[in-house]
Amino acid sequence: SALFHKFTGQSQIHLLSSSSSSSVVSAKKLFCKKIMDGGGAYNPRTVEEVYRDFKGRRSGMIKALTSDVQEFYRLCDPEKENLCLYGRPDEHWEVNLPAEEVPPELPEPVLGINFARDGMQEKDWLSLVAVHSDAWLLAVAFFFGARFGFDKADRKRLFNMMNDLPSIFEVVAGTAKKQSKEKSSVSNNSSNRSKSNSKRGSEPRPKLTKPEPKDEEEEEEEGVEEEEDEDDEQGETQCGACGESYAADEFWICCDLCENWFHGKCVKITPARAEHIKQYKCPSCSNKRARS
């Protein structure tokens, strides 16, 4: 019998594979469970599960490059060996050495991010790490897709779900917020045009000397339309840290300098703490002031 040997984090799994199919299946299930870093009972062979893994890793890496950027910068010491930025499914991040296994159990992130730290502008360096992080997240997601036997439709659905979120680079570079504003302005212009066209088409040719009074139903409909427009504008607002859209049941705070909105949890601000802050500065603006 052959030795099935896999490393996952600090744990090791030693399984003796036999000719029985049940042993192979149980080994594969355990392997899949470990590499997904999941602790509960679930079916890891679904698009939703891989997307949840992708989303957790993405959130962790965004924290490293935004709200936790000072700690991330400190850990990426150029005097150390090749270092990598890892995102974990539980929304945490880690700077560590690459896996010693060859080949590695999962696709590895780019090596040596620490070596370029002092040779570039900090903004450019963070953008470079962000680009490589996006590539790594896609590699891990489609590794799971291949491992779990996703077909063409599954792969397409997984990609579309991931592509609906702003990339890490877009969040770090601030283009996610700009794209959101552009989309909202385009949608508002198109809606205004469609409304004006519909009004022109519905207007009768003979002119009335007095405007007809509006019915109560029409006034109610206009009120509903205004509320929907406000909801659309709120829905277009994206967190400057994680890039996710506004939700009514979440606490958000606006930076008084850059005027970007953030989840309270992303910038570690609670509603109680916000009441005592006269002028809020996001981590990015605070870091700029400290360095200047």
Instruction: Let me know whether 31 and 114 are in one domain.
Output: no
- Closest by Cα among 175, 187, 162 to 127: 175
Instruction: Let me know whether 12 and 133 are in one domain.
Output: no
> For residue 16, is it within any domain?
yes
Instruction: Let me know whether 101 and 167 are in one domain.
Output: yes
Instruction: Let me know whether 22 and 91 are in one domain.
Output: no
How confident is the model at residue 243, as a pLDDT?
81
* Cα angle for residues 258, 244, 34 (degrees, 5° grid): 130
> For residue 233, is it within any domain?
no
> For residue 259, is it within any domain?
yes
Instruction: Let me know whether 28 and 119 are in one domain.
Output: no
Are residues 55 and 138 in contact, defined by beta-carbon separation less than 8 angstroms?
no
How confident is the model at residue 182, as a pLDDT?
59
Residue at which a domain ends, from 154, 173, 192: 173
Instruction: Let me know whether 21 and 108 are in one domain.
Output: no
Instruction: Let me know whether 78 and 123 are in one domain.
Output: yes
Beta strands in 125-255 (DSSP E): 252-254
Domain count, the chain: 3
**108, burial (CB in 10 Å: exposed 0-12, middle 13-18, buried 19+):** middle
> For residue 227, is it within any domain?
no
Residue 17 main-chain phi, psi, to 5 deg: -85, 135
How confident is the prediction along the chain (292 residues), in pLDDT tens digits per residue? 333 333 333 333 333 333 344 443 344 444 444 445 444 434 457 999 999 999 999 999 999 999 999 999 999 999 999 999 999 999 999 999 999 888 888 999 999 999 999 999 999 999 999 999 999 999 999 999 999 999 999 999 999 999 999 999 999 998 866 665 655 555 555 555 544 444 444 444 444 444 455 555 555 555 555 555 555 555 577 888 888 887 778 888 998 888 888 888 888 888 888 888 888 888 888 776 655 5
Helix, strand, or coil here: 221? helix
Phi-psi region of 242 (alpha: psi -120 to 50; beta: other; left: phi over 0): alpha
> For residue 225, is it within any domain?
no
Instruction: Let me know whether 5 and 102 are in one domain.
Output: no
Integer CA distances (angstroms), 277 to 35, 273, 282, in order: 42, 7, 12
Instruction: Let me know whether 75 and 127 are in one domain.
Output: yes
Q: Locate tokens 């958000």: which residue?
A: 252
How confident is the model at residue 248, as a pLDDT?
75
Q: What is the pTM of this model?
A: 0.57
- Closest by Cα among 6, 62, 46 to 267: 62
- How many Cβ atoms sit within 10 Å of the Cβ of residue 282? 25
Q: Which domain holds residue 281?
A: 246-292
> For residue 13, is it within any domain?
yes
How confident is the model at residue 238, as a pLDDT?
83
Instruction: Let me know whether 2 and 55 are in one domain.
Output: no
Are residues 105 and 13 in contact, defined by beta-carbon separation less than 8 angstroms?
no
Instruction: Let me know whether 21 and 139 are in one domain.
Output: no
How confident is the model at residue 214, as a pLDDT?
53
Number of Cα atoms under 13 Å in the Cβ half of residue 77: 7
Instruction: Let me know whether 57 and 164 are in one domain.
Output: yes
